[in-house]
Structure 1
C-alpha cells in the first residue's frame, strides 16, 4: 500500500500512526537514565557501569530508530526524541546525515562513499605507519573492536569533526554549539545534581560504545555484489532487544521503514528470500561471532577496490 502523506509548507512528508511501543521504550530508556544517575551509589561500580553502558547503547539504538522516521509522523518530534546527547560525543544531526548516507547500499563498505565503513584505502593504510597498521589489524578482531574499538571510533570521529570546524564547514559550528549545550545539561544533571563522578559517567559512555561496536562488528563485509555485503545475526534475543533487532541487518537495509518490534516477525516470514539474497551471510547469535573472530580478523582492513 502507498504511504499516506501530508503537505506542509510545500513539502510532502510521509505520515504514519504513532508507534506506542517505541514511545514507551523512549520513556523506559530516559527513565532508566534518571534512575541510574539518581541512585548510582546504591550499586557497585561494576554493576553501575554495565547498566549505564546498556542504557547508552540502547539510547543509540533508539536514535537509529528515530533517524528512520519513527515513532511518529512528526519529524521535529522524532528528532527531539533522538537528540538528547547521553553518549556525549556524537551530535544527533551528524549521526542522522551520515547514517542515511550509509544506506546507499550500492556503496556499502566503500571507505570513501560509506561513512560507516571500517575499511581503508591504500593511501590511508600507508599513512597509518607501522604502529597504526598494527592497531588497525587488532581492531579487526572482535577483542580489539571491544577494547580499543570505541577509542578508535570516537577519537577518529572527533578528529575529523575538528578539521571541519577549523575549516568552517557550513553549519558545523552551529551543530556543535547546540550539541555542547545538550552535553552541558546532561553532565550538569549527572555530575553536579546527582554526584556521579565524571570518570564513572565516561565509563558508561565507553561501555555503551563497546556494546554498539559488538553490533556493528560483523554487519558488513566486502563482496562483489552489494546485496551480499550485509549480514544477519539470528537467535539473539538478549542482544536483539538491546540493538532493537538491527542484528537482522539485511532486512533493515531492504526495508528500513519497518519498526523495530515488527522486524523479527517480518524476518521469519521472509527468511528464505533474505538469506538467499545476501549469499548466506548468517551468524547463529553473537556467540558464533565470538567463536569465529574473537582473536581472528573479520576481514582484511584494506578495501580490495582501493588497494
Structure 2
C-alpha cells in the first residue's frame, strides 16, 4: 500500500514538474518559433493551477512524500514553479489553519461600526480578482530586505485584524529568512529566464500567470465565504464530479481537511464517509457567490454560535500561540 501511494505521489509530482518546464521553457524555445498557435496550450495549462497548489499544499503539511527532507525539497521546487517562496506560503497557510474565521482572518467580513461596505469592497474585490496571488508573487521583491527592515515590517503590519504581521515575523526568523531569500531568488531567476525564452511573446507567459492569479484568488476563500465566525475548524465541502475531485486532489473536501489536517489527499474521501460529513455547496456556485461582496459582522449567517470550536493543540504549537484547550 505504501509503495503504491509513494508511486502515485512521485507520478503526480513528475507530471507537475513536466507541465511547469513545458510552460516555462519548452513551449517558447521549441514550439513557438515554428507556429505561434502552440500558445493556445497555455489555456489548459492554466487549469492545472489547482492541482499544482494542491501538491504544494501537501508539501506544506508534510504529506507529499513520507521522507520529510524530500517532502520539503519537492514542495520548495514546486513552489518556485508556482511563483511563490515556499517558506512564505507555508507560514501563511499554517496561520490560516490557526486563525481562520477569527478576527485576524475573515476575508469578506467587515465591521460596520468601523467601516462601510464600499470601503471594504475596495480591498475585497482586488484580492478576489487576482490580488492574493499577486501579493505572493510580489513577495520575492523582499529578497534584499535586511533583517532590520524585516523587524520594521513586522511592527508596521502587526494588527489584531490581520495575520500579516505574524506572517512576516515567522518568515523573518533566522533559518526561515535564509530559506525565503533562496526561494525568492529562485523564483526571480526562473521567471526572468522564462521571459527571455519567450522573447517578444513574453506577454503570453504573463497572461498565463495572470490566469493563475485569478484562479488561485477566486478559489482561496470560496471554502469559507459566509461561514460562521470563530470556528477555525470549520470549512465547506464543495461538490465536484469524482473525476474533478481527483484532478484537484480532493481539495474540495475542505471541511474534512480542516478537521483532519494530517491526512493525505487520497485519505480525505474515506474520512468524509467515516465522519458522516456533508457536501455544503457546489464548487462553482461557491466560487460565483463570492461576487456578492463583503458581509457585515452583524449578519446572522456569520454570527458566531454559542459553542464555538476551540483551537486544536497542534495548530497552537505550529503558530506559537497558546492553546485554548485544557
Q: Structure 1-normalised TM-score?
A: 0.69
* 2:263 equivalent to 1:258: yes
* Equivalences for residues 32-47 of structure 1 within 5 A: 32-36=19-23, 37-40=25-28, 41=32, 42=35, 44=37, 47=40
Residue 147 (structure 2) pairs with residue 167 (structure 1): no
Distance of aligned partners of 1:250 and 1:290 in 2 relative to their CA distance in 1, 3 Å threshold? closer
Alpha-carbon distance between aligned partners in 2 of 1:45 and 1:135, rounded to the nearest angstrom: 38
SS where residue 66 of structure 2 aligns?
coil
In the alignment, is residue 67 of structure 1 matched against residue 64 of structure 2? no
Q: Name structure 2 gaps, 5 residues minimum.
A: 152-171, 305-326
What residue in structure 2 maps to residue 11 of structure 1? Answer: none
In structure 1, C-alpha distance between the alignment counterparts of 2:197 and 2:66, rounded to whole Å: 35
Gaps of at least 5 residues in structure 1 are 1-15, 276-280
Bigger CA drift: 93-102 or 179-188?
179-188
Residue 102 (structure 1) aligned to one of 96, 99, 109: 96
CA shift in 2, pair 1:136/1:187, >3 Å:
closer
1:6-155 equivalence runs, <5 A: 19-36=6-23, 37-40=25-28, 41=32, 42=35, 44=37, 47-84=40-77, 85-88=80-83, 90-104=84-98, 107-112=99-104, 114=105, 117-119=106-108, 122=111, 126=115, 132-136=119-123, 138=125, 145=128, 148=129, 150-151=130-131, 154-155=134-135
Deviations 1:239-263 (A, max 9, x none): 5344311111111112122222332
Write out the 4+ residue segments of structure 1 that deviate beyond 6 Å after TM superposition.
301-305
Which whole-Å CA distance do the structure 2 matches of 1:24 and 1:125 have between them?
50
The answer to whether structure 1 residue 297 and structure 2 residue 293 are counterparts is yes
The 8 Å contact of residues 222 and 290 in structure 2, kept in 1 or not, is answered as: no
Q: 1:31 to 1:191 in 2, by over 3 A?
A: same
2:203 to 195, 199, 205: 199
Q: Secondary structure at the match of 2:261?
A: coil
Call closer, same or farther: CA 1:110–1:101 in 2, change over 3 Å.
same
Contact 1:230 1:250 in 2 (8 A): yes
- Following superposition, the deviation at residue 195 of structure 1 comes to 4.6
1: CA distance between counterparts of 2:113 and 2:137? 15
Change (3 A) 1:195 1:47: same
Q: Is 90-99 or 234-243 further displaced after alignment? A: 234-243
RMSD over equivalenced CA pairs, Å: 3.8
Assess, with a 3 A threshold, how the Cα gap between structure 1 residues 124 and 109 changes in structure 2: closer, same or farther: farther
TM-score normalised to structure 2 length: 0.66
Question: How many pairs were matched up?
Answer: 266
Greater Cα offset, 33-42 or 158-167: 158-167
